[in-house]
Amino acid sequence: MRRYLSVLFISVTLLAGCATSPTGRSQLVLMPESEMNQMGRQAFTNIKKETPVNKQTTTNNYVQCVARAITREVGGSWEVVVFKDDAANAFALPGGKIGVNTGLLKVAKNQHQLATVIGHEVSHVLAHHANERVSQSFAVQQGLNLLGAIASPESGTGQSLMGMLGVGAQYGILMPFSRVQESEADMHGLDLMARAGFDPRESIQLWKNMARSGNGQPPEFLSTHPSHSTRISDLIARLPHALQLRNQAQQRGRRPDCK
């Protein structure tokens, strides 16, 4: 009976949260977008409290210029903040929030390379990747809890089974999905920055810069991000399509000049 109920719970959960990503991939999305937006806004408020904000006018004007060109293509209201942080990173959150670290500006050498990163991060939001990650974590945890009850976790066998399932769930389900999400954001972000009029060829140089910046990476099969070489190869394959989008954008007057 317990086995039947566990299978029924997991099946209903999966069916209730079925969605499709911008690339046509099936997604498990359980959280209402209104809840995700609220979580994103609260998280951004907390980050602003905990991390110093860069007030330099020139830097802010530059980052705002690039972000506006990107977000103009997707619509909505977006808050953009530059943080004093040496990590070469940026992020976007549900609820229309974008954060850019000053450390990224040392690696993204021009507007096109910065647009690559911002386009990538905005694409995570557009593809509901945060919702998907929360939903995956919930579904896996609930599944493991139910299976653990069936296996009598107080026993030695049950504890061993749960240990193996925990590792299998972490590396066999959640982390590969995260790599898929990163690759998906790379491709969608490349198209997005090209539609805004930025040069998609600069995305290749950005990741070469990242590779030389000294930021260590774990082996790709244990990482939630594709390796730099994999990213570069995938982006090169996508370039003809992205260049066509940029040509169309420039014909529509999309010629960003952020300095």
Cα 149 from Cα 1, distance rounded (Å):
12
Q: Which residue has the tokens 């594709």?
A: 226
Residue 202 bears catalytic tag: no
Q: Which residue has the tokens 């229309």?
A: 96
Cα 42 from Cα 100, distance rounded (Å):
17
Q: Are 220 and 227 in contact (CB under 8 A)?
A: yes
Cα 41 from Cα 145, distance rounded (Å):
31
Burial class (CB in 10 A: 0-12, 13-18, 19+), 74: middle
Amino acid at 16: A
Helices 156-169, 129-150: axis angle to 10 degrees equals 160
Catalytic residue among 35, 121, 182, 202, which? 121
Q: How many helices and strands (H and E) does the chain possess?
A: 9, 5
Amino acid at 8: L
Q: Are 88 and 214 in contact (CB under 8 A)?
A: no
137 vs 85, 134, 214, CA distance in Å? 29, 5, 31
Which positions are catalytic?
121
